[in-house]
Amino acid sequence: MEDLLTEARIGPRDGVGKTVVVAMSGGVDSAVTALVMRERGYRVVGMNLRLFSPGDPEHQSNPCCGIPAMDDARATCALLGIPFYAINMEVEFGEAVVDRFVDEYAAGRTPNPCLECNRHVKFHHLVRRARLLGADCLATGHYARIIPGDPAAGRPHRLFRAVDARKDQSYVLHTMTQDQLGYVRFPLGGLTKPEVRRLARAFGLPVADKAESQEICFVGKGSYADFVAARRPDVTRPGEVVDASGAVLGRHRGLVHHTVGQRRGIGIAAAEPLYVLGLDPEANRLVVGSRDQAVARVIHAEAVALTDGTWPEDPFPAQVVVRYRGAPATATVTLGPPASGEAAIVVDGPGPIASPGQAVVFYRGDEVLGGGTICLVERAHPEAEAVPVHPRPVVAASNSPSD
């Protein structure tokens, strides 16, 4: 195991005399994070967030933020000999993540729930609690890398993709501020998932072989469509399926069952495959067309921020990603007036299928430059410009930031 515990792989052994709070989800990633920070010399304090634990049978086995997960986190801390605290943050999580998810989904938009959890819960409330405990830093089991800088000397902290491309979670971390990047540690960023498992088994951690969470944590084993429909029955109303020009092609069984970019399950026979171009909740219409019509030409974003805290006047090149672990597309980013939080992203060549509500994240190679929330998409095909601005992005089950 010594080959995995070098400073090149897990970070410097800089923890002597320092305290770190580790966010303990009850999974193997957070367990190894606690192990690694202990090996780096820190006094480790485990902190589990109880985020969503309703009493119905479908959610009682919630894999990452309910009571069973808390018990796994406690067992890991006991084995490692570190203190354990359980924090009930169901109210904060419900307001910032669950309620927002349902409301936006019903309006034809969907925020990425794991991104919102990172933004509003883990790197806001949890960082605050860690500081109240007097901790020198907070560590989580996210797969990403932070290169420390010295902002006072003009060298910002920098955020990069993880070494393990299959587990990289930098997309859902792009909202982190310089203050957060200076306080948070991602000790798994230089390891692969199989190596994390190896460490867990070598040290006998009780969650070494625990299965990963593959669904949105608060949705559980059901579908996100059923989750939203149970809270907003209006999204299950049948309606018309139309093409980009408004011609009626058939009927849908409720907008909640469809997502932008979807190809299967539309239920319309056509000479070429049809894709969902958008959802129009006001008219209760599902808009479909060819893939060429779905591709983005210009993406407009709001709530934009750059990781280094700057706001360049000149356009800059970037690779943009519009969904979790999506393929990057080459583009030119032009920021709006200072403090506007706006950007226009012109895609060079074949673009992604993008829609309002998704995050658009800017990269330069493996480095995260920043990003924002898509508010408007100009499609590559002129006929698709008539598509209402109410589309909803695909919500991938693997959006979970960590297990």
Catalytic residues: 117, 217
Q: Does residue 163 sit in helix, strand or coil? A: coil
Q: How far apart are CA 28 and CA 383, in angstroms?
A: 49
What token pair was written down for 278?
A: 């958008």
What token pair was written down for 202?
A: 């070598």
CA 273 vs CA 291, 292, 294, 326, 396: distances in Å: 8, 11, 12, 21, 21
Q: How far apart are CA 34 and CA 402, in angstroms?
A: 14
Please answer whether residues 61 and 71 qualify as being in contact, where contact means their C-beta atoms are separated by less than 8 angstroms: no
What token pair was written down for 174?
A: 């792009």
What token pair was written down for 48?
A: 């589990």
Nearest CA-CA partner of 401 in 99, 174, 105, 85: 174
**CB atoms inside a 10 Å sphere around CB 59:** 18
Residue 177 — φ and ψ, nearest 5°?
A: -90, 170
Instruction: List helix spans (H) across 1-66.
Output: 7-10, 28-39, 57-60
Please report the DSSP string for 197-222 in residue order: HHHHHHTT-TTTTPPPP-S-TTTTTS
Please tell me what DSSP assigns to residue 150: B
CB within 8 A of 205, min separation 6: which ones? 28, 31, 32, 35, 76, 79, 80
CB within 8 A of 208, min separation 6: which ones? 28, 31, 197, 200, 201
